[in-house]
Amino acid sequence: MYRLLRAALFLLPAEASHDLALKAMSLVERLGLTGLIAARTRGLAREITVMGIRFPHRVGLAAGLDKNADHADALQGLGFAWLELGTLTPRPQPGNPKPRMFRLAQQHAIINRLGFNNKGIDYALTKLSTRRRKGIVGINIGKNADTPLEEANEDYLIGLRKAYPVADYIAINISSPNTPGLRSLQYGEELDSLLGALMAERRTLAAALGRVVPIAVKLAPDMTIEELTLCCGKLVAHGVEGVIATNTTFDRERVAESEHAAETGGLSGAPLTEKACATLSHIKALVGDRMAIIGVGGIMTGGDAQARIEAGADLVQVYSGFIYAGPPLISDCLRATA
Ligand SMILES: Cc1cc2nc3c(=O)[nH]c(=O)nc-3n(C[C@H](O)[C@H](O)[C@H](O)COP(=O)(O)O)c2cc1C
């Protein structure tokens, strides 16, 4: 059924089909018919506690598919263990001009340069407050494109304060390739300064609200081993609970023959599988059991999910694989990682 639907959706430009599919999913949910398209998880799900959160199983939705929490009920109903929503910025912003999303169908890949198009964190939190299904939610935060990099900390602090009462965990996105300069926050003094500010604010929020909400930092797959070593050292030193590996890649080696290879943006899907898994293995070697690891990037099959767990991931997330395979990918991953 998903294959037929996909064939029809793939006739449209990538972003238009993405929006239409999400709207259709929400309609199906409102009609009470989600069961018809949901992944089969019964009998396969094994609970697991990571970052102090009890997940019904290990397979979640990666950030970016539902940036504004407009479709949280529908997506939750499909069988994901949790949703990571966002990236959300303090103020709404339109993102980059269209076209800004490209489907590389032969390579089972996507290139996007959306640029954090989102309706702002206040909108998403209001949406979340009205959802009917109460599943686990990670809120992924970032900075506005027009906030100078030197003032980035303040944008992340606004996101942290606003998301804190609602989120089960908060993801700090410093690895999108589509906001100029953002990835520099993964390094050196900028990283120290951001983590210092976030963890101090988290202490204040935890004391005020009586609840410690874990923080996970999302990293790029394009860092050298030296860079990863320095970065992970700082994450551990600051007491961050989790790392999400990885975001999309600049690397075009595996898609050189595609007509879209030269498009600016981040590449995701099958060509990212190996690189994301290798990055995760390095991170595991660096952090051991001191941080939880959420594996993401090119998980297109149950086998990919299993390999990511074997490489050290506690949980996995899917995005491009879900676009190409639909809800059955969730059950495939569940079967492989139970
Ligand atoms: C169209 C698109 C939009 C994305 N938007 C975000 C985002 O807003 N924030 C974020 O942290 N990651 C975003 N991502 C990255 C994904 O969460 C994920 O890390 C990446 O795509 C690799 O996983 P995949 O190969 O399963 O897609 C986006 C990915 C795609 C394809």
Quick check: 2 pLDDT over 80?
no
Q: Average of pLDDT values for 199-210?
A: 98
Q: Strands 48-50 and 82-88: what pairing?
A: unpaired
- pLDDT, one tens digit per residue, over 145-189 is 999 999 999 999 999 999 999 999 999 999 999 999 999 999 999
Q: What is the DSSP letter of 90?
A: S
Q: Average of pLDDT values for 46-53?
A: 97
Q: Whose CA is nearest to atom 5 of ligand 1?
A: 64
Domains and CATH numbers, the chain: 2-337 (3.20.20.70)
Of residues 113 and 4, the one with the higher pLDDT is: 113
CA 269 to ligand 1 centroid distance, Å: 9
110 lines ligand 1 (CB under 6 A): yes
Distance CA 113, CA 101 (A): 6
CA 208 to ligand 1 centroid distance, Å: 33
Average pLDDT for the chain:
96
Neighbours of 182 (CB within 10 A): 22
101 lines ligand 1 (CB under 6 A): yes
295 lines ligand 1 (CB under 6 A): no
The per-residue pLDDT for 81 is 97
Residue 98 — very low, low, confident or very high, per pLDDT cuts 50/70/90? Answer: very high
**Could you list the active site residues?**
176
Residue 281 — very low, low, confident or very high, per pLDDT cuts 50/70/90? Answer: very high
- pLDDT, one tens digit per residue, over 300-326 is 999 999 999 999 999 999 999 999 999
- pLDDT, one tens digit per residue, over 4-33 is 888 888 989 999 999 999 999 999 999 999
CA 87 to ligand 1 centroid distance, Å: 9
Helical ranges in 92-148 per DSSP H: 121-129
Rounded (10°) angle between helices 14-30 and 2-9: 140
Q: Average of pLDDT values for 222-237?
A: 97
Distance CA 211, CA 205 (A): 8
- Does pTM surpass 0.85? yes
305 lines ligand 1 (CB under 6 A): no
The per-residue pLDDT for 4 is 82
Cis peptide before 273 (omega within 30 of 0): no
Percent of the chain at pLDDT > 90 equals 93
76 lines ligand 1 (CB under 6 A): no
Q: Average of pLDDT values for 75-83?
A: 96
